[in-house]
Structure 1
Amino acid sequence: MTARRELRLNAFEMGAPGHTWAGLWRHPRDRSSAYNTLDYWVSLARTAERGLFDGVFLADVLGTYDVYGGNGDTALARAAQAPNLDPFLVVPAMAQATAHLGFGITANLTYEHPYAFTRRVTTLDHLTGGRVGWNVVTGYLESGARGMGLAGARAHDERYEAGEDFLAASYKLWEGSWEDGAAVRDRGHGLFTRPERVHRIVHDGPYYRVDGRSLSEPSPQRTPVLYQAGTSSRGRRFAGRHAEAVFLNGHTKAVAARSVRAIREAAQAEGRDPRDILMFLGATVIVAPTRAEALDLCDEYARYINVEGQLALVSGWTGIDLSTLRPDEALAYVETNAMRSLVENLTGPGERPFTRADFAEFGPRGARAPFVVGSPSEVADELLAWAEAADVDGFNLTRAVAPETLAAFVDLVVPELQSRGAYKTRYAEGTLREKLFPGGGPGLKATHPGAGFRHAAASHPASAA
């Protein structure tokens, strides 16, 4: 099969011993228990860069999955994304060990403030040479809200309204406070910054207020590459307006294609080119030199899946306590305050309803996304078929056994894709945004709403892109 476009790839990771497949940390060759060491992250980054990956996409969640059984004991006992680390703090070590790899960092805006948050992201963008993206999330765990001293999480759609306000304030700080060239570094005159070129930002929104100049001079990208992962109806509108890349799931090509189409339509309604948003589909890949070896490997991994841990994860994501369902009982649609798009996908039209037992399966049903097992050529065929049918630009490759599954993909699948002209053979130069969108500049495209907050005197190099 000939690729319609060059595939993009991210390693989908999390600062936790268990990510999307609970229990695999127990596998004798798995190293994810060392998630709290620098060596783990440096090794991961070097492997991803050896495979010419666009980035490491770092998931994060603030709170504990406590819907299953009404408490968080199962999540803690089975390492279902608990314990976990702050993803921001592992990036500098990975950046120091690499030259091109990008970093998509998940941060929950509900518990941040634009004034401090923009400085933190700008710092990372400086230190990485412009290789940072932000996965904009609004949070859904009640346990996280309680931990932050609140009575509960904001309602689903209100979270996106708050997100609009947060981004408006952030755009003003990133794009409108410092003009290009404000930091002159004039040793002779003892002048570091021209204060008349650094502007006070006043934002008085319904959720956030700012009054002050941005604390940091502009980084290579000013605004980081903006990722988004919500595909509910409100999430799609948010993505269509703000996102430059979207991470989505879909257990069939038709489900994934429907989400992609809706987001591209939302972008067009906002006056943006629908192709200005890259679509990354989650995928689990088990590859070996032959199909028989890959199937054996898959069976081996499956023996380490922890059923309760899986159910704790899905219960947290959906907001539905799966401990109340019989193994063969189908999941019914319930409007929750959690990941509404996931509940819609799992209970919508399909081959057959999802049952509690499905979520514990190490396979396509449990993955809720492409689950690909086979030889290098078979894996390449399937990924390209998904990309074509669902109109996605690439994949977020989910961790299974670390570092084994990532290394196998790099060693076996990447050369196969390259031989078909479906994957790059070297990195482009420039920032993460320039690598993802060749021919553009390091900053937001002029048609992006964030560009409208630039100070009139500023002329960022990407403004004409």
Structure 2
Amino acid sequence: MRKPIRFNAFLLNSPTHLAPGMWTHRDDRSRDYLDMAHWLALGRLLEAARFDAIFFADVLGPHAAHGDGLARSIESAAQLPVNDPLPVIAGLSTVTENLCFGFTSSVFAEHPYVFARRISTLDHLTRGRVAWNIVTSYLPGALDSLGRPELADHDLRYDYADEYLSVCYQLWEGSWRDDAVLRDAAAGRYADAARVRAVAHAGRHFNVSGIHLSEPSPQRTPLLFQAGASPRGIRFCTQHAECAFVVAHTPERLAQLVDAIRDRTEQAGRPRDAVRIYAQAAIVVAETDALAAATLADYRRHVDRDAVRALLSGWLGVDFAALDGAAPLTTFDNRAIQSLATQFAQADGSGWTVDRVIDWAGLGGLGPVLSGSPRTVADALEHWFDTTGIDGLNVPYLTLPDSYRQIASLLVPELTRRQRYPAAYGAGSFREKLFGAAARVPDNHAAARYRW
């Protein structure tokens, strides 16, 4: 059997994620994000379709580098308002047995001593079904609100993240021995104090002295995701991540990113396939190609271009409202836009204007939209997987929950017929399900050196 095609549902606890304006569509229920029943129904749907996980994105600031800034981002719901995903995950774990949960959390959100306990708690409650997507808060508003404007420099944020991870690893892996918890009711001893030790970390950003407050959870360290395509981001990824999240609009560009991550992982002393790589692609599937095309055209009529400009402004740090829509990207003397222009041009050889990028990003962000009948979409997915070496897809919705309902009812049966989709969930924790190995980080991972 060839490599299975694996799906994560890619979401934000907000009325809008990567389809700005679609919250106004008659078929979209993303505005119900405040209702736990909405999330529980979605969790049941995704588990029945054997999705690997719900993968929650998150942001800690507004996409406000755009025209009238904050006001327009608020009015267009450009990933605002946005709520904490962790309470939703706790609720979802009560109605699912195998569906796993990825959450995005910035290393600036809270002190690592507090964060480590929060995640151990969640790992216990989900029976080891959680993964942390490590981010460093790219939005300037987030760093200002958190009182850390001095860390706006890209590489400095990764240096901070390295130390943050070191503290977390010491707490998760090294504070409690595996045999510390006794639960000996007859002797009245819950744990052996001699098998619990304090962390003693004195670093540039953190001084931590104390034991981890939680007993060892099923995974200890949660499964680790990271998204970073810059040289510093890839270096961080290959040191820490077990899963990488990348975005590219063509298979050719995606294959370049996959090769770069595999090469750097090997150079870091880990097996070449130690990191599972997930790409991003939205999917519109219907009974026929014509019906899928009509559905996609209907969706495009609901796109809020101002909200797209707001998101692009936040992602790239450039005010897209002030740019000439007809101008080629290559005319702008800006590192972020130059990087985007290079990625797009190298992949398909064509010219990209500001308006073309806005059109592209309006549905599904900077990744592609694969549309058509089940057969057409399955053919496209097989091509992407077989030519790029990716291990899975983060699939953003365009309408919620209909995007996932159509995948479950139309595409999953077609992929199953082709023997390209997991027939059943694996046993155990998220790490066990994905790698078929132990619940704990492997010996070649950076966290392993902190074990007792």
The TM-score with structure 2 as length reference comes to 0.96
* 1:170-189 equivalence runs, <5 A: 170-189=168-187
Equivalent residue for 1:163? Answer: 161
Are 1:284 and 1:372, in contact at CA under 8 Å, matched by a contact in 2? yes
Taking a change above 3 Å as real, the CA distance of residues 225 and 33 of structure 1, as seen in their structure-2 partners, is same
* 1:297-316 equivalence runs, <5 A: 297-316=295-314
> Aligned-pair distance for 1:45?
0.9
> Aligned-pair distance for 1:382?
0.3
Taking a change above 3 Å as real, the CA distance of residues 63 and 300 of structure 1, as seen in their structure-2 partners, is same
**What is the CA–CA distance in structure 1 between the aligned matches of 2:137 and 2:345, rounded to whole Å?**
22
**What is the CA–CA distance in structure 1 between the aligned matches of 2:325 and 2:214, rounded to whole Å?**
54
Are 1:17 and 1:81, in contact at CA under 8 Å, matched by a contact in 2? yes
Equivalent residue for 2:7? Answer: 9
Are 2:133 and 2:224, in contact at CA under 8 Å, matched by a contact in 1? yes
> Aligned-pair distance for 1:370?
2.4
Kindly provide the amino acid, as one letter, of the partner of residue 160 in structure 1.
Y
Partner of residue 110 from structure 1, selected from 92, 108, 112? 108
> Aligned-pair distance for 1:36?
1.1
**What is the CA–CA distance in structure 1 between the aligned matches of 2:187 and 2:339, rounded to whole Å?**
57
Partner of residue 442 from structure 1, selected from 439, 444, 447? 439
**What is the CA–CA distance in structure 1 between the aligned matches of 2:387 and 2:305, rounded to whole Å?**
32
Aligned residues: CA RMSD? 1.9
Please give the secondary structure, in 2, of the residue aligned with 1:110: coil
Partner of residue 240 from structure 1, selected from 238, 246, 250? 238
Report whether the alignment pairs 1:195 with 2:193.
Answer: yes
Are 1:232 and 1:340, in contact at CA under 8 Å, matched by a contact in 2? no
Taking a change above 3 Å as real, the CA distance of residues 113 and 292 of structure 1, as seen in their structure-2 partners, is same
Equivalent residue for 1:318? Answer: 316
Please give the secondary structure, in 1, of the residue aligned with 2:281: strand
* 1:420-431 equivalence runs, <5 A: 420-431=418-429
**What is the CA–CA distance in structure 1 between the aligned matches of 2:30 and 2:8, rounded to whole Å?**
18
**What is the CA–CA distance in structure 1 between the aligned matches of 2:365 and 2:164, rounded to whole Å?**
32
Please give the secondary structure, in 2, of the residue aligned with 1:266: helix
**What is the CA–CA distance in structure 1 between the aligned matches of 2:172 and 2:442, rounded to whole Å?**
14
> Aligned-pair distance for 1:218?
0.6
Are 2:57 and 2:103, in contact at CA under 8 Å, matched by a contact in 1? yes
Q: Structure 1: any 5+ residue segments left out of the alignment?
A: 456-465
Of 323-332 and 376-385, deviating more is: 323-332
Taking a change above 3 Å as real, the CA distance of residues 279 and 225 of structure 1, as seen in their structure-2 partners, is same
Partner of residue 226 from structure 1, selected from 213, 224, 227? 224
> Aligned-pair distance for 1:334?
5.4
**What is the CA–CA distance in structure 2 between the aligned matches of 1:361 and 1:12, rounded to whole Å?**
20
Report whether the alignment pairs 1:379 with 2:383.
Answer: no
Are 1:334 and 1:343, in contact at CA under 8 Å, matched by a contact in 2? no
Kindly provide the amino acid, as one letter, of the partner of residue 443 in structure 1.
R
* 1:323-334 equivalence runs, <5 A: 323-332=321-330
Equivalent residue for 1:393? Answer: 391
Are 1:251 and 1:365, in contact at CA under 8 Å, matched by a contact in 2? no
State the number of aligned residues.
451
**What is the CA–CA distance in structure 1 between the aligned matches of 2:54 and 2:412, rounded to whole Å?**
16
Are 1:306 and 1:360, in contact at CA under 8 Å, matched by a contact in 2? no
**What is the CA–CA distance in structure 1 between the aligned matches of 2:165 and 2:59, rounded to whole Å?**
20
Q: Structure 2: any 5+ residue segments left out of the alignment?
A: none
Report whether the alignment pairs 1:452 with 2:449.
Answer: yes
Equivalent residue for 1:461? Answer: none
Equivalent residue for 1:462? Answer: none
Please give the secondary structure, in 2, of the residue aligned with 1:16: coil
Kindly provide the amino acid, as one letter, of the partner of residue 76 in structure 1.
I
**What is the CA–CA distance in structure 2 between the aligned matches of 1:84 and 1:175, rounded to whole Å?**
32
> Aligned-pair distance for 1:153?
4.3
> Aligned-pair distance for 1:350?
3.9
Kindly provide the amino acid, as one letter, of the partner of residue 63 in structure 1.
G
Of 327-336 and 21-30, deviating more is: 327-336
Partner of residue 213 from structure 1, selected from 211, 216, 223? 211
Kindly provide the amino acid, as one letter, of the partner of residue 22 in structure 2.
L
> Aligned-pair distance for 1:145?
1.4
Kindly provide the amino acid, as one letter, of the partner of residue 450 in structure 2.
F
Please give the secondary structure, in 1, of the residue aligned with 2:55: strand
Are 2:360 and 2:366, in contact at CA under 8 Å, matched by a contact in 1? no
Partner of residue 117 from structure 2, selected from 98, 116, 119? 119
Please give the secondary structure, in 2, of the residue aligned with 1:361: helix
Kindly provide the amino acid, as one letter, of the partner of residue 448 in structure 1.
H
Report whether the alignment pairs 1:402 with 2:405.
Answer: no
Equivalent residue for 1:42? Answer: 40
**What is the CA–CA distance in structure 2 between the aligned matches of 1:395 and 1:361, rounded to whole Å?**
22
Taking a change above 3 Å as real, the CA distance of residues 164 and 150 of structure 1, as seen in their structure-2 partners, is closer
**What is the CA–CA distance in structure 2 between the aligned matches of 1:148 and 1:345, rounded to whole Å?**
32
Equivalent residue for 1:295? Answer: 293
> Aligned-pair distance for 1:112?
2.1
Kindly provide the amino acid, as one letter, of the partner of residue 225 in structure 1.
L
**What is the CA–CA distance in structure 2 between the aligned matches of 1:192 and 1:420, rounded to whole Å?**
51
Please give the secondary structure, in 1, of the residue aligned with 2:134: strand
Taking a change above 3 Å as real, the CA distance of residues 218 and 343 of structure 1, as seen in their structure-2 partners, is farther
**What is the CA–CA distance in structure 2 between the aligned matches of 1:75 and 1:318, rounded to whole Å?**
15
Please give the secondary structure, in 1, of the residue aligned with 2:165: helix
Deviation track 1:329-383 (CA, whole Å, cap 9, x = no partner) reads 12246566x8997575346564323322123326799742221110001101101
> Aligned-pair distance for 1:60?
0.2
> Aligned-pair distance for 1:62?
0.3
Equivalent residue for 1:285? Answer: 283
Equivalent residue for 1:130? Answer: 128
Deviation track 1:119-146 (CA, whole Å, cap 9, x = no partner) reads 0000000000000000000111111112
> Aligned-pair distance for 1:387?
1.0
Kindly provide the amino acid, as one letter, of the partner of residue 326 in structure 1.
D
Of 170-179 and 325-334, deviating more is: 325-334
